[in-house]
Each structure stands twice: as structure tokens, then as C-alpha cells.
Amino acid sequence: MEIRFPLAPKPETEEAEKGRLLFAAGSEFLKGVVAMDGMPPGDKIEVCFAGRSNVGKSTLINAVTGRKALARASNTPGRTQEINFFTIADSHYLVDLPGYGFANAPVKVVEKWQRLLKAYLSGRANLRRAFVLIDSRHGVKAVDEEIMDLLDRSAVPFQVVLTKADKIKQADMPGLLDQVRGALAKHPAAYPEIVATSSEKGVGIPTLRAIIAGII
């Protein structure tokens, strides 16, 4: 029986090398954007990372790019209020979206972030894929479903990336995958593979690099 939404396999040697070379070419912070008129030109392949506050997004971006402090992790969930653009070589933008699920943020601030997020997702023709980060310890939550619904409506393909995969017992992984697969089955924009990662252990980082390098 074929499994829907299997774990992405380790890349072939050639694919892994393409991913390594892409990020070895250099990653730099370009700008933080608070309104659509501040967006850089849509002249590069673009991927974005989205996830709940405290999901480990900044740490994962740093691991993928090989830059320890490229994306600044905050001790205050929801502190990043901008859409942050990073250049990857001369060919890609990597975009860090504001964390969602910030219970303590003022309502007006949340509404502003949501408007900007919706405008971004529907207004970037060069956006090829969104990576939705899910904490392996908690699985898909209601706030994750909301962003997946928004990606469906915006017709943006998205792929789930499990973070902190080293923080759960291997015996608990099948149950986690069942829960995530059940959630993804409801979303037409979901890409049919899941990537399991650990920024701390380096698990899944070559796979994610190869996937980004292969997106055209």
C-alpha cells in the first residue's frame, strides 16, 4: 500500500551536491519588509519559511544556509514583525515570514501581520514553494491549519518540514506522521512529501537544501 505524504528520501549524490553548492555560494540578509511596496523585485526563484512562534524557524534557516546568525532567533515569540528576505547565491530568495500563533501580541499587530502575509502570498508570482514548519513534539495545531488554508486559497504549493525531530522518541514518530498526514490530506496545495529535520543534529538539512536547489 502506497503511503501518502511519505518522508522525503535522502537526495542522490548529484542532487545533494547541487544543494550544497547553492548554499556554499553565499547567503546574505537583503531587507526586512513591512508593506508590499517594499518588496524586492520578483526576479529570483523564491521560497518562504512559515511556522508558529518557537517552532525553530530561525535556527533551521541558519542551519540550511550554514550561517549561524543569519536569521536572528528571538527569546520573545512573535517578536519578528517583518517579512525578511535573504539572498541565496545569485538565483534564489529565501524568505522568513513572521511567526504565527503569538497569543500575547496585540490584536491590531496580529491583524497587520495577517494582512501583510495574505498580500505577500497572493502577490509574489516568483514564489515557488512555502515550507510550513511543524514542531515534531506537538504535530499540526489549529494555527497551522489556518496557514495551510491560506496557502490553499493563495494557490501556493507548500511542503511540511518537521523541526526538532531529535526531540521525540523514535517510537512516537509513526503516530506523529499519521497525525500530520491526516491534516495534509485535506489540503490541495500540500506537496506530497514531508521533510524531517533536526537543526541541532544536522538531520534532513542536505535534503532540504537539495529540494530548494531543485525548485525551478
What pLDDT digit, counting tens, does each position of 15-51 carry?
999 999 999 999 999 999 988 999 999 999 999 999 9
Percentage of residues of the chain with pLDDT beyond 70:
93
Q: What is the pLDDT of residue 79?
A: 46
Are 85 and 30 a contacting pair, CB within 8 Å? yes
**Closest-CA residue to 22 (of 41, 3, 44):** 44
Q: How confident is the model at residue 88 (pLDDT cuts 50, 70, 90)?
A: very high
Task: Report the 3 state secondary structure along 163-177.
Answer: ECHHHCCHHHHHHHH
**pLDDT(75) > 50:** no
**pLDDT(78) > 70:** no
Distance from C-alpha of 164 to C-alpha of 25, rounded to nearest angstrom: 26
Are 99 and 55 a contacting pair, CB within 8 Å? yes
Q: What is the pLDDT of residue 125?
A: 92
Q: What is the pLDDT of residue 53?
A: 83
Task: Report helix angle 57-65 to 205-214, nearest 10.
Answer: 70
If you average pLDDT over residues 191-212, what whole number do you get?
A: 96
> Tell me: the pLDDT tens digits for 117-173?
889 998 899 999 999 999 999 999 998 999 999 999 999 999 999 999 999 999 999
